[in-house]
C-alpha cells in the first residue's frame, strides 16, 4: 500500500479499569484499520506499562455515581469497597466477553504501536525503566508531540 497511513495519537493518563480500556480498545481497533498508533502514558496512565500490572488495576465506587451498586455513595470510601467494586466489574465484563486488558495490550504491542513512557512521571513516581515492559520507549512531551503532529486523530484520555 503506497498511500500514507492514517495515524492515531493518544495520551493515556488514567489506570483504573474504566480509564485503561478506552485507549487500548481504540489503539487495537485503529491498528486493525491499518492506522499507525502511538500512545503516551503519563501520570497514572504510566501504570499500564508496568510489568504484570494490567490484571491488577481496580475500579473505585467512590465518586462514581453511575456505578450500578446498591449502596450509598458514602459507603464507597470504606475499606474493601474498591475490591468489591473491582470484583463485580470484572465479573460483568467477563459475562459480556470483553477482552482482558492484558490481551488488548498484547495486541497493541503486536501491532507495532509506539508506546511512550513519560520520563517525568517516572521521576515523580520513582518508577525505573526495568519495571516497565520492554516494548515501550521512554520520552517526554516533545517525543509525543512530534508523533502527534502528523496524526489524523489525537485524543486525551
Partner 1 sequence: MSEIKIAKTLDAKNLSCPLPILKTKKAIADIEIGEFLEVLSTDPGSVADFKAWTNSTGHELADQSTENGIFRYIIKKTK
Joined grid coordinates for residue 135: 516494548
Inter-residue contact 37 to 114 (CB < 8 Å): yes
Beta carbon of residue 77, minimum distance to partner 1 (angstroms, whole number)? 31
Taking CA atoms, 149 is separated from 23, 105, 133, in Å, by: 19, 24, 26
DSSP letter for 136, please: -
Single residue of 88, 98, 153, 155 touching partner 1 by CB under 8 A? 98
CB nearer to partner 1: pick between 32 and 87: 32
Is 74 or 96 the residue whose CB approaches partner 1 more closely?
96
Task: State the nearest-atom distance from the C-beta of 107 to partner 1, in Å.
Answer: 6
Q: Please report how the helices 17-32 and 101-110 are oriented relative to each other, as an axis angle in degrees rounded to 10.
A: 30
Return d(Cα 153, Cα 1) in angstroms, integer. Answer: 21
Cα–Cα distance for residue pair 31/33, rounded to 1 Å: 5
The dihedral of CA 98, 83, 67, 60: what is its sign?
Answer: negative
**One residue of 1, 66, 74, 142 binding partner 1 per CB under 8 A:** 1
Q: Is 155 in the site for partner 1 (CB under 8 A)?
A: no
Q: Which stretch binds partner 1 (CB under 8 A): 7-15, 92-100, 119-127, 148-156?
A: 92-100
Residue 124 sits in the site that holds partner 1 (CB under 8 A): no
Instruction: Give the residue carrying C-alpha cell 494490567.
Output: 54
C-alpha radius of gyration, the chain, whole number: 17
Q: Is 100 in the site for partner 1 (CB under 8 A)?
A: no
Q: What's the closest the beta carbon of residue 3 comes to partner 1, in angstroms?
A: 10
99 binds partner 1 (CB under 8 A): yes
- Provide the minimum distance between the beta carbon of 7 and partner 1 in the complex, in angstroms, as a whole number: 13
Residues that bind partner 1 (CB under 8 A): 1, 6, 25, 28-29, 31-34, 96-99, 107
Amino acid at each position: 500500500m503506497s498511500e500514507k497511513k492514517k495515524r492515531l495519537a493518544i495520551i493515556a493518563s488514567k489506570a483504573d479499569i474504566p480509564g485503561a480500556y478506552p485507549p487500548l480498545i481504540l489503539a487495537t481497533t485503529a491498528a486493525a484499520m491499518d492506522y499507525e498508533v502511538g500512545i503516551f502514558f503519563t501520570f497514572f496512565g504510566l501504570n499500564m506499562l508496568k510489568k504484570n500490572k494490567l490484571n491488577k488495576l481496580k475500579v473505585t465506587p467512590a465518586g462514581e455515581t453511575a456505578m450500578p451498586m446498591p449502596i450509598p455513595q458514602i459507603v464507597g470510601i470504606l475499606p474493601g469497597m474498591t475490591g468489591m467494586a473491582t470484583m463485580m466489574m470484572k465479573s460483568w465484563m467477563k459475562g459480556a466477553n470483553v477482552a482482558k486488558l492484558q490481551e488488548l495490550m498484547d495486541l497493541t504491542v503486536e501491532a507495532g504501536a509506539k508506546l511512550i513512557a513519560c520520563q517525568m512521571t517516572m521521576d515523580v513516581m520513582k518508577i525505573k525503566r526495568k519495571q516497565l515492559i520492554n516494548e515501550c520507549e521512554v520520552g517526554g512531551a516533545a517525543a509525543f508531540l512530534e508523533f502527534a503532529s502528523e496524526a489524523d486523530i489525537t485524543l486525551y484520555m
